[in-house]
Amino acid sequence: MLTLFLILFPAVAATLIFFLGGERAKQAALLAALAELACAGYAFFSFKPDASSQFAFDYPWIGSLGIRLSAGIDGISVLLVLLTGLLVPFIVLSTFNRTYKQPATFYALMLFMQAALMGVFTARDGFLFYLFFEAALIPIYFLAAMWGGDNRIPVTFKFFVYTIFGSLFMLIALVYLYYQTPPTAIAAHSSAIADFYKLNLTPQAENWIFWAFFIAFAIKMPVFPFHTWQPDTYVESPTPATMLLAGIMLKMGVYGLIRFILPIVPLGVETWGKTAIILSVIGIIYGAIIAIRQRDMKRLIAYSSFSHVGLMAAGVFSQTETGMQGALIQMLAHGINVVGMFFVADVIFSRTNTRQLDQLGGITQSTPKLTVYFMIMLLGSVALPLTNGFVGEFLLLHGVYTFNHYLGLAAGFTIIFGAVYMLRMFQKSMFGPTTSRTESFTDLTTSESWVFIPLVVMVFWIGIYPHTFLKVTEPAVANLMKYIGTTAVSMK
Amino acid sequence: MKIELLCALIPLFPLIGFLINGLGFRRVPKGLAGAISTVAVLASFLTSAYLFGAFLGNANLSGNAGPLIATLFDWISVGDLHINFSFQIDQLSLLMLLVVTGVGTLIHLYSIGYMSHDEGFGKFMAFLNLFIFFMLLLVMGSNYVIMFIGWEGVGLCSYLLIGFWNKNISYNNAARKAFVMNRIGDLGFLLGIFMLINTFGTVEYVDIFKQATSLAVGDKTILAITLLLFVGAMGKSAQIPLYTWLPDAMAGPTPVSALIHAATMVTAGIYMVVRSNVLYTLSPLTLEIIGGIAIATALLAASIGLLQNDIKKVLAYSTVSQLGYMFLGLSATAYTAGMFHVITHAFFKALLFLGAGSVIHAMSDEQDIRKMGGLRKALPVTFITFLIGTIAISGLPPFAGFFSKDEILAHVFEHNKLLWGLGVLGSGLTSFYMFRLLFLTFFGEFRGTEEQRHHLHESPATMTAPLVVLAILSIVGGGLNLPGGGWLSGFLAPIFEGSKQVSPEAFAESTIEHSTEYILMAVSAGVALVALIIAYVMYISRQAVPAPESAERSLPEQVIYNKYYVDELYETIVVRPIRGLGDAFYSFGEGLVDGVVNGVAWVVQKISAQLRLLQSGSIGFYVLAMVVSIVVIFALRFFIRL
């Protein structure tokens, strides 16, 4: 039942704020998101580390067709539920010093988005998943199209059409899978994801279903070469929307790979997994090299996110336990780091009215707080040991390296290029002499600091004691490994 | 006291110091900040010394000199792979602990004086503490991943401290270069760890080395592992081709150069190889490669050192060169000799850098030796101690460097006569550039400005006291391992048991006659002495002063003066192509990919031209329709159960 609450509560709160919010929409949204965080946190800490689905609900929906309203939290979802609960309140808080027109609508959309994301990460029915997967697009589309930058209309249109287009392939695959399921006691077929896992598909079917799902998820993440909507959308969207997109929404893609592709079409993965890894690794390097040359902070972070997510996809397709665990913990870590990074860009933009690195510099001279938080988020992003990024990247790279030494080496370049573009961004904005735009830079306000503080706590918590998070996902990952036929860390 | 607690305390002290000074920056008064950070490291030193005593006592009592493992918690666990957060106390880690915390304490003390006028004093001391923390993790870890935490952590501190004066863009660039070059090495290290995991199923030293002793010499996997780990060492310990960051790292304040870029961090690569000695002994080919790289690095850096005019740059190239000697020793399986040189080098190179700092302090931040001269009268303590350091590094008996370098060369002689010859040549170069530095700085006439002359002063006691202590250590340090079975060889022997087991011949008793050994010693000392005399004739008798920047130089001189144009080469073959690629990907690649996407969209659009008549064309309408339908379906199906 807790799951139902996690999905419905933000939606109800959003509706109330939309109609009654008025001037206090901000505060109301923050309260609602904090309450949701408390629930998500409760779910995380009371989650029993086994492979089962917990806090679940299950109602008939379209009874005659065997389609059910069924959702729950298992080891694969639990970190993403936590991430969704964790990030939204601080994304809301990050807007406290900014003014957005029509605040009631703005904050209502953010909470609607949260409800849809919670639905995506907990749905246990294929069609329910699809519904939430698409529903999540609507609030983010409005956020970007109504509050975005000058070029927002064509950019968000492309984003919208591109991702909808991708999901259509998934819909076809879902319908096909649905018709393959054997009759149940009450209906001719079943759309429960667990029933999809039991199917014995023909190799041909596995191959095309692999691609149908892969394209849908690859666009969402995005994986090279399906990424061209992403940098523009991240840059044009208002920063809170960018944070939702990069922090949480792109994880829908990685989550989809783990939830659908690996267990449903293991043969497809065997045949095409290497292709998928190669695309992902190309994306890692391609995105990183482009990031090195970017001048706009937001665009730079967008490309870095594109590069990082490639590693997660590669880790998933490595079909190793380390790769899978790495992907799960890295989704959490990346969400935290990327939100922190975009917030840094937002803070700088709010004071200098620019995100161009060559117009910045010397900010550190007047901002001890921002410098420290920026540095810590950066260290997380470049995967320094004892920060959150390291645990994920270490496991992911081990997975990819175990899959194939050369691909592992190529993927490993992320740690070098990552350091290059991140340190370049830090140096050009924070160090050196001040410019006309940065000479009167003021340090973080209290509410801004409070956006960073929980993120920083998470950076070190995950980095120093990842056991808290790895142990809850471990049984589910071990269970998942059964479907793909390999076990544990491949050794010897 | 429990061993876990003691072990945890050692890195905890500097971490607490870092947190107090870091969080309390500008709130903790300067005097207190300096005291806190120095006491923190001193506390680690005393704890290490206590542990050392206890370990020795324990070893003598039970005859058991095996490692003590202190496991704090399970850090990363996935499937069968368990990476513990745990420390290993054995002969090797104790030795490194004492060097790091001992020299560390002295340099912290020195920094109180050296940095006292800097507005970022508290931050500086905090970073130094953080560095010690990571360095301690590096040497105390009981497995490769904990070593890697320290390995990357010291790299971070190095970055923060090189770019400490961050208003200066070129300092920032030097810092970034150091971090990135180290990261290149770290990738090798990381892949090495992955191979260890996939080969042995664990990252713990004890378990890996136990399994490894059953492997045959020349094992292919071990070859790959040792090479990958050595790539990490190349980065951290500045070997060809990843050495160019170290001279640039001199942009950092001088105590940083002494602590990080001379005495401790840069020797991490040697520590790592010695720690993994079983693996390296199993792979003679890797050792050959290390030998080649090491001698090339030693000579290349020494030759550049001959013509440098920046007091810190000379010392930096000297460090690169000396690190080459250490690896040269390792390549001849003279692991003890390598560690011996690590220790003596920590003493005399820290001394030389701190001495250079004292000079720079007195000269109002002047670093060019062409503008110094005759400083021995104004800076007597600095002069005497610098002289001692110079003698020690040049390999003149009976100072510390003589014994450690000689032990390396003796083993290399047995192993490969050519390498020995080149090694002796290098020690001649070392002696020359060091005495050149000494003579130009402290002898002759003062060549600076009147204002500088007026300002000349000996440094305060917080700075000279560490100089004196290090000078004494540089004199007597050789006593740690006198030729013919010194204390260090006996002490470290248990560390190399595994290596002896896999390759007894590599550790066989020396076949060299004692008379030959004395001749070898005499030759290397003689070469150093000759180099000294040449330097004396050139810079004291003839009072030569190096040519100014603009002077005409002969071609070989030009090439060496410009450091063989290696930085320019890297700029051309690595940096610029990557930048170009970045621009090309961004402008053409993205356009191309996007063009295909738009092309697909265009085709779809054309095909659906007929259907278009049914559509209003307003995206807002579609979205609205979609939202409404979803809500309606949802509501209907949920509330009106069909």
Contact A73, A52 (CB under 8 A): no
Contact B139, B271 (CB under 8 A): yes
Residue B590 lies inside a defined structural domain of this protein: no
- Looking at residue B642, its pLDDT comes to 41
Q: Model confidence at B635, in pLDDT bands (50, 70, 90)? A: low
* B194 close contact with A: CB closer than 8 A: yes
Q: Model confidence at B36, in pLDDT bands (50, 70, 90)? A: very high
State both tokens at B265. Answer: 């961090």
Residue B591 lies inside a defined structural domain of this protein: no
Between residues A97 and B237, which one has the greater pLDDT? B237
Q: What is the DSSP pairing of strand A54-62 with strand A67-73?
A: antiparallel
Residue B619 burial by Cβ neighbours in a 10 Å radius (0-12, 13-18, 19+): middle
- Looking at residue B617, its pLDDT comes to 57
- Between CA B166 and CA A371 the distance in angstroms is 12
> Residues B174, B321: one domain?
yes
Contact A330, A311 (CB under 8 A): yes
Contact A419 B183 (CB under 8 A): yes
- Between CA A490 and CA A321 the distance in angstroms is 8
> Residues B444, B351: one domain?
yes
- Looking at residue A489, its pLDDT comes to 39
φ, ψ for residue B131, nearest 5 deg? -60, -50
Mutation choice for A interface testing from B12, B15, B78, B622 by most A CBs within 10 A? B78
Q: Is the pLDDT of residue B640 over 90?
A: no
Residue B442 lies inside a defined structural domain of this protein: yes
Stretch (H or E) spanning A54 = strand A54-62
Contact B462, B559 (CB under 8 A): no
Residue B578 lies inside a defined structural domain of this protein: no
| Chain centre distance of CA B105 | 18
Preceding amide of B398 cis, omega within 30: yes
- Between CA B321 and CA B298 the distance in angstroms is 4
> Residues B296, B420: one domain?
yes
> Residues B113, B158: one domain?
no
User: Closest Cα of chain A to B224: distance in Å?
Assistant: 12
> Residues B628, B480: one domain?
no
Stretch (H or E) spanning A335 = helix A321-352
Q: Is the pLDDT of residue B79 over 50?
A: yes
Residue B558 lies inside a defined structural domain of this protein: no
User: Closest Cα of chain B to A351: distance in Å?
Assistant: 20
Chain A residues in contact with B194 by the CB 8 A cut-off are: 397-398, 401-402, 408
> B260 to each of B150, B183, B351, how far by Cα in Å?
13, 17, 13
Mean pLDDT of B363-380: 89
Residue B31 lies inside a defined structural domain of this protein: yes
Residue at a domain's end among B112, B142, B172: B142
CB contact set of B167 (below 8 Å; sequence gap of 6+)? A362, A365, A431, A432, A433
- Looking at residue A351, its pLDDT comes to 92
pLDDT, chain A, mean: 91
Q: Is the pLDDT of residue B10 over 70?
A: yes
Nearest Cα to A434, choosing from A482, A370, A367? A367
Mean pLDDT of B15-40: 92
* B64 close contact with A: CB closer than 8 A: no
| Chain centre distance of CA B477 | 21
* B619 close contact with A: CB closer than 8 A: yes
Q: What percent of chain B has pLDDT over 70?
A: 93
Chain B residues in contact with A402 by the CB 8 A cut-off are: 194, 198
Contact A426, A373 (CB under 8 A): no
pLDDT digits (tens, 9 = 90+) for A428-460: 999 999 999 988 899 999 999 999 999 999 999
* B573 close contact with A: CB closer than 8 A: no
B residues 376-405 lying closer than 8 A (beta carbon) to A: none
Could you please report the per-residue DSSP string of B457-481? -PPPHHHHHHHHHHHHHHHHGGGGG
* Coil/strand/helix, residue A182: coil
> Residues B133, B152: one domain?
no
pLDDT digits (tens, 9 = 90+) for A29-73: 999 999 999 999 999 999 998 888 899 899 888 877 888 899 999
> Residues B282, B429: one domain?
yes
Nearest Cα to B272, choosing from B243, B231, B240, B316? B231
Task: Please tell me the least confidently modeled range out of A273-277, A303-307, B168-172, B554-558.
Answer: B554-558
- Looking at residue A486, its pLDDT comes to 46
Number of compact structural domains in chain B = 3
Tokens 């079983």 sit at which residue?
B278
Stretch (H or E) spanning A70 = strand A67-73
Q: Model confidence at B636, in pLDDT bands (50, 70, 90)? A: low
Spell out the domain ranges in chain A: 2-484
Contact A63 B641 (CB under 8 A): yes
pLDDT digits (tens, 9 = 90+) for B337-359: 999 999 999 999 999 999 999 99
* B179 close contact with A: CB closer than 8 A: yes
> Residues B226, B336: one domain?
yes
Nearest Cα to A489, choosing from B202, B85, B71? B202
Residue B244 lies inside a defined structural domain of this protein: yes
State both tokens at B469. Answer: 């202590």
pLDDT digits (tens, 9 = 90+) for B422-478: 999 999 999 999 999 999 999 988 888 888 888 888 899 999 999 999 999 999 988
Residue type, A112: F
Residue B64 burial by Cβ neighbours in a 10 Å radius (0-12, 13-18, 19+): exposed
> Residues B154, B135: one domain?
no
Q: How far apart are the first and last CA of chain B?
A: 72
pLDDT digits (tens, 9 = 90+) for A463-479: 999 999 999 999 999 88
- Between CA B278 and CA B108 the distance in angstroms is 35
Q: Is the dihedral angle over the CA atoms A214, A217, A219, A221 positive or is it negative?
A: negative
Residue B297 lies inside a defined structural domain of this protein: yes
- Looking at residue B599, its pLDDT comes to 84
Q: Is the pLDDT of residue B611 over 70?
A: no
pLDDT digits (tens, 9 = 90+) for A209-246: 999 999 999 999 999 889 999 999 999 999 999 999 99
User: Closest Cα of chain A to B624: distance in Å?
Assistant: 9
pLDDT digits (tens, 9 = 90+) for B583-603: 888 888 888 888 888 888 888
Chain B residue with minimal CA distance to A465? B75
Contact B333, B275 (CB under 8 A): no
> Residues B290, B252: one domain?
yes
State both tokens at A335. Answer: 């969400």
pLDDT, chain B, mean: 89
> Residues B270, B376: one domain?
yes
* Coil/strand/helix, residue B26: coil
- Between CA B330 and CA B71 the distance in angstroms is 30
- Between CA A105 and CA A139 the distance in angstroms is 10
Alpha helices in B63-168 (DSSP H): 91-114, 121-140, 144-162
Residue at a domain's end among B142, B171, B188: B142
> B324 to each of A114, B248, B295, B405, B480, how far by Cα in Å?
58, 18, 6, 11, 21
Residue type, B19: L
> Residues B392, B525: one domain?
yes
What's the pTM value of the predicted model, to 2 decimals?
0.93
- Looking at residue B60, its pLDDT comes to 62
Range of the domain at B438: 143-541
Q: Is the pLDDT of residue B637 over 60?
A: no
Contact B186 A415 (CB under 8 A): yes
Residue B485 burial by Cβ neighbours in a 10 Å radius (0-12, 13-18, 19+): exposed
pLDDT digits (tens, 9 = 90+) for B396-414: 888 999 999 999 999 999 8
- Looking at residue A490, its pLDDT comes to 40
Contact B158, B265 (CB under 8 A): yes
* A183 close contact with B: CB closer than 8 A: no
Q: What percent of chain A has pLDDT over 70?
A: 98
